[in-house]
Structure 1
């Protein structure tokens, strides 16, 4: 299934994409795409519904983030061997973890806002997933039982904040609008193998990232296992898994985003996002 959230900001409803590509309103079946609505029992209930029995959403309706505001938004850094190389970092022995602010989540086609004081705004196409079943000290062999589905994340990053302002990476990762998710949450039955998914990102029509999950160092089952040793993952928590090479920081000289730039972001089987960069606004 391809699940979505649609409607104006703050008023999104859950939906699904039918066989003709139209959005159907799921609000009579589940309250939102969050928490227990992402459990195996809930997804089974949704799958049993005849999509043609559900109302159509308005044509051209805005898509919100495909998961409602998560309790945790965990990210994995330097998780692609070729990206680690372009940033002159060694391949990590264990996953590098940091948090993105849960309230940075926005829709897949919403604007990305330049934060106050930004000097080096950057892009990162990433494969993300959402937890459907509580994960606590999970064995790697059982890890995918806790995953509800996959989607695209643009891990928007401010490198000056992240690298040059001291302390933790979180400073450059959690500003408003730094977490576009979607367009769809694709349930894991539709993508049984995530080991070689094409990933790309364009800036103003130029393809700057063109990679694959095949260069991912720590794969999703291990990440669920590993992260669950340090925190309890609850249904609705989002984990984003790292980026292939081609980020602005890796160019020589580096290239960063400015107001008016347009990013298009895609992963095989998970659709396409598009964001316009806009100046800071109160």
Structure 2
């Protein structure tokens, strides 16, 4: 059963959908208009993959990396479904990135690829915006590119791993204001989910509610204030986000 986190009447609740209504964990039923969507888990350590689709690397004039290109994201970056991402006033090259997010379900270290899925809780969607005006190089994605407040919508749901037979064969799509601008498939990842879990756990402990953002395929377009951006992954759902009013930026 897919689950979410929402704010309702000043409190945070776990929730699910029942008959097109939001059912809170204590039994209260409410409409979507009465809630604020939150990231479906409170993220712990969040790993983000750069250039994990060869076609995306190619469209940016890079080769796919020989080892995973991983960087970390802070909790300040995450917002929920139907949230607003603020676009810096000086940004001219801001892109969405539709990504399958893998939520870890239990702690482990030195996890082999053959047992990797035993450590997965489920899957959700991330839109990991990149503001490439600030990019130094793809082998050092700096804080100004990937750790800005509100720049990583996450959700709406966690779909349990049992509900997705093959996470390595899911269609990904992005729409700007209703127009499809990106389409790909998780089968085209350079490093698949079992490899990433084995790689990361080879040198550090993975913990429950750690999240792995697995990268985005080709098909990037710029976004602007007022845009509605929908990132969609087969069997996982649709994550809606709005690009909000520009904010001042001194860096």
TM-score by length of 2: 0.91
- Counterpart of 1:267 (choices 219, 233, 239) is 233
Rounded to whole Å, the distance in 2 between the matches of 1:11 and 1:162 is: 38
> What's the RMSD between the two structures over aligned residues?
2.1
**1:125 CA displacement:** 0.4
**Residue in structure 2 matching 1:63, options 20, 26, 37:** 37
Distance 2:48 2:132 in 1: 15
Q: CA deviation at 1:245?
A: 0.6
Change (3 A) 1:226 1:12: same
1:182 aligns to what SS in structure 2? strand
Match 1:229 to one of 183, 202, 206: 202
Structure 1 pair 202/59, CA: closer, same or farther in 2 (3 Å)?
A: closer
> Which residues in structure 2 correspond to 1:11-160 (within 5 Å)?
11-18=11-18, 20-26=19-25, 28=26, 54-60=27-33, 61-68=35-42, 70-115=43-88, 117-160=90-133
The 2-side partners of 1:166 and 1:191 are apart by 32
- Is contact 1:123–1:154 with CA below 8 Å preserved after alignment? yes
Structure 1 contact 104–176 (Cα < 8 Å) conserved: yes
Q: Per the alignment, do residues 93 and 65 of structure 1 end up closer, same or farther by CA in structure 2, a change over 3 Å counting?
A: same
TM-score (norm 1): 0.81
3-state SS of paired residue (1:280): strand
Q: Deviations over 1:19-75 (max 9, x none)?
A: x3432212x5xxxxxxxxxxxxxxxxxxxxxxxxx332345333211112x121110
Structure 1 residue 100 displacement after superposition: 1.7
State whether residues 101 and 213 of structure 2, in contact with CA within 8 Å, keep that contact through their aligned partners in structure 1.
Answer: yes
More helix by share: 1
Tell me what 1:3 maps to. 3
Contact 2:50 2:138 in 1 (8 A): no
CA distance in structure 1 between the aligned counterparts of 2:138 and 2:11, rounded to whole angstroms: 36
State yes or no: 1:205 paired with 2:178.
Answer: yes
Give the drift of 1:14: 0.7
Change beyond 3 A, Cα 1:139–1:259: same
- SS of 1:144's partner is helix
SS at match of 1:85: helix
* Post-superposition offset of 1:280: 3.3
CA contact (8 A) 1:132 1:146 kept: yes
More strand by share: 2
- Structure 1 range deviating more: 6-15 or 264-273: 6-15
Give the SS at the match of 1:227: helix
Q: Distance in 2 between matches of 1:125 and 1:221?
A: 20
CA contact (8 A) 1:5 1:12 kept: yes
Q: Distance in 2 between matches of 1:101 and 1:119?
A: 23
Tell whether the 8 Å contact from 1:129 to 1:239 is kept in structure 2 after alignment: yes
Q: 1:281 to 1:116 in 2, by over 3 A?
A: closer
1:201 offset after TM fit, Å? 0.5
* Gapped regions of structure 1 (runs ≥ 5): 29-53, 249-255
